[in-house]
Amino acid sequence: MTDIGEYVKKLVHPIAEIRERTLSTVLQKVECNLVNISKLSQHPNLLQNLLKLLDLGPHTLRVQVLKLLHYVLEFEDVRQRFDSLGGLQYLQTLKIVASLEVVPHINSVLQKFNHHSVRREIIHEPDCNRVSNEINLYDADRVFDEENSTLPSLYYSSDTEQISVTRKKENTIIEDSCAYDESEPDVEANPDEPPVTFKTFPWQALTNSDRRVLDSTTQSLLSHDESLVVASLHFLDTVVLKDFPAEVMLQRPAVLRAIYGCIEEGGDDAWRVQGPACACLLSLTQLLNDRVAQFKDPHLSPSGQQTVTPTSSGIATPSTDITRGSCCSSSDSRDGFVLDARNNIRRLGDGQDRSGSVTGLVHGLSATSIHEDDDGDEFILLGMHQLTIGGHCSHVFRVSCPLLVSNRPSLQTVSMRLMLSCISLLDKSVNSRTLWNHGDDGDEAIMEIVGSLRRLIRNICAMIIIKYETQKLYKTTIEAEEALLTNQCLLLLLCKILHLFVPLEAFNQIIDRDVSASLILALCDGGFYLEYRKEYDFLHPYVSKVMPDIAAQMKCILYAADALKITAAFLQTSSARLEEFLKFGEKALSVASIHQSSVFVEKLVRGLAKQVSIGNSEINLLEEMRKLLLQVLHHPDVTVRLCGYTSVLRLIEDNIGMSQAANTSQSRSPRILLLLSPSVICCFVYSGLTDDNNKVRNLSQNILLGLLRGRLLMNKSIWMAAAECWRHTLIHLQCLAESVTSLGRAVGNLHEELYKEDRVQNIERVSE
């Protein structure tokens, strides 16, 4: 126990090499049974240290840690302690950001808890709630320099929901599958409401030192030194965005344009800059989500008369500090400002101008004058060229869309989250019900948003088509799984965009060849249908809108997918529950021609035979089982029929064939009772021997020959049942009595076998 304690203690040693060596040693001892796993699992600090090790890293040790957890969680009390430590929740969170090679090991550990009920937690937040910014999406040392970072199943936060998509596995804890609110608003949209409800923020004045900080950061971002650019992005993300109001970046767009350029950077090492740039834009976009929510929701701003200024196309703040405060300096959205009802005193800091009141600022803007603390030329020029909300989202869509299919999962992760955050921001700023009705009115803001949405949808659809066309070219299972996960994320992202921004009646305005082709591929994907039925049903009306004929053909795909579900349900049933077994078997048999699974037919035949052997041989149940068997043998699909005859022959060989010659107990012969019925024998004679398929005919001959030759391997009760069956079918078998074939000779000898015992009994009675 002392050695175990030392090993457990070294798992969290400050030196990474010692942690790695200790973990490798413990895992090897466990795998080679050199240590008592029960004693190891009972160590009070083991689970706690393993969780710490998962967090401490290096992350290359995650697979080994999860393997060790797989061993120690075999015991119920250990699983309870692990859950009480928050380990289960931690693994679910880790699964979101783990690399693809780690996810299967996480699933393996989560399956240890499969006795828990399946949970689906769809979290709906109010429209104005702050978007969670608790997850640090970028760590220069741990995320973007790591080769095995990952694309999560799909996790994002929006103004109305938090969505988490993972692979569905029965009897495991399941996160939500891209859930979105499908219900339409009860109140119809106001036709007088403008399509774009929020464009720009009121002007934010900066001091000279603040402007120098932004200018210096911009110059650093334009540098050719990669390390300087990465450091500048990190400084911008962790310092500047925490100190300045988020809208300042839109009003001085030079910094943003430099960041957009970093994402568009080309070359093999471009990922070193693209990752931090996306993370920086993600932080900014999340802060902009908060700021727009504060401006639009009166409950988040102090009461007072709201003023619309020339530089603010949206709702400006009242004469309060909300136009000045930073929403990112604290967890509370109001901590960036303090309002005194009498003096309008605001809290200084956060990159704000130290002089002048907000009342003076609003008055100055309303009079289109130049703010006294800003350089006049800067105010006029930047005010004219500042980015709108739609402009920022359009740029993000353009530069980050190619990263969704990057070879580096870390870039896929951060670009997906950035994309979803921008979708949430754009949703706060537009009215989708009237947006498409004014797309040709000449309004630049509307045209920019409509154009960006069209490009985004078409780009995503083009990537979906490429993924589907290349899915057969992957050489390894890991590559195929990664491609499948990426493709499903793209489909779910497409569903999200269509749901929020493209009403069904406006779909004609974006449909083109790629969009229609990608939707057809998605609807023909049985896996997507099985795993994301809600999203599948959402996409189907869009196809029906523009291609009703093709949409009608999708019913065949739905039928095939339902067939897979029914068959899967049958294969999961226990053969000990006869009624359930028969019910699922009959349902699955009706769609057997779709999946053409030999596993299904073999399980059905063997399951029916097993029911007889365990005593479920009542006349009515036995007849139902034989009827189900006859449905297999008479099935119109030759593949299913051939599987049925093959399974019956294997059943005969395994129970009364030569392999059972050494089994003197004859214990397996009761399984043959399923076949000993005149209806089944006549099926072999009149259907099997006359089948169009040569293989079916040969199998029928071998089945009849095996039944006739198995007399010596049947116990007395089974032989009596067989003899009774042969007596009723003897007249039908006479047509096969030919001396030139083995089956004919066996049939010719059948009469003597059946009535020899009767003749012996008659002779005994006469002699008496």
Which of 474, 478, 471 minimizes the C-alpha distance to 528? 471
What pTM, to 2 d.p., does this model score? 0.49
Cα–Cα dist 337/322, whole Å = 7
Query: Which of these ranges, 200-214, 360-374, 645-659, has the smallest mean pLDDT?
Result: 360-374
Given pLDDT bands bounded at 50, 70 and 90, which one contains residue 393?
very high
Helix, strand, coil percent content, the chain, rounded in steps of 5: 65, 0, 35
Q: What is the mean pLDDT of residues 69-79?
A: 83
Cα–Cα dist 92/400, whole Å = 27
3-class secondary structure, 661: coil
Which amino acid is residue 43, in one-letter code?
Answer: H
pLDDT the model gives residue 586: 62
pLDDT tens track for 410-463: 888 899 999 999 999 999 988 887 888 775 666 788 888 888 898 999 889 888
Q: Which stretch of DSSP H or E encloses residue 162?
A: strand 162-164
Which of 352, 345, 344, 347 minimizes the C-alpha distance to 336? 347
Which of 335, 330, 301 minimizes the C-alpha distance to 316? 301
Highest mean pLDDT among 165-179, 367-381, 511-525: 511-525
Q: Which two tokens stand for residue 5?
A: 């304690």
Do residues 682 and 732 lie in contact, with contact meaning Cβ atoms separated by under 8 Å? Answer: yes
Backbone phi, psi, residue 108, to 5°: -65, -40
Do residues 224 and 186 lie in contact, with contact meaning Cβ atoms separated by under 8 Å? Answer: no
Q: For 223-274, what is the HEC assignment?
A: CCCHHHHHHHHHHHHHHHHHHCCCHHHHHCCHHHHHHHHHHCCCCCCCHHHH
Given a cut of 60, whether residue 73 has pLDDT beyond it is: yes
Do residues 588 and 570 lie in contact, with contact meaning Cβ atoms separated by under 8 Å? Answer: yes
Q: Whole-number mean pLDDT of the chain?
A: 70
For helices 444-469 and 513-523, angle between their N-to-C axes, nearest 10 degrees: 50
DSSP one-letter code for 297: -
pLDDT the model gives residue 420: 93
pLDDT the model gives residue 258: 92
pLDDT the model gives residue 288: 93
Do residues 79 and 42 lie in contact, with contact meaning Cβ atoms separated by under 8 Å? Answer: no
Cα–Cα dist 433/189, whole Å = 7
Q: What is the mean pLDDT of residues 525-554?
A: 75
Which DSSP string corresponds to 171-198? Answer: TS-----S----PPPSSPPPTTS-SBS-
DSSP one-letter code for 157: E
For helices 254-263 and 208-221, angle between their N-to-C axes, nearest 10 degrees: 20
Given a cut of 60, whether residue 503 has pLDDT beyond it is: yes
pLDDT the model gives residue 544: 77
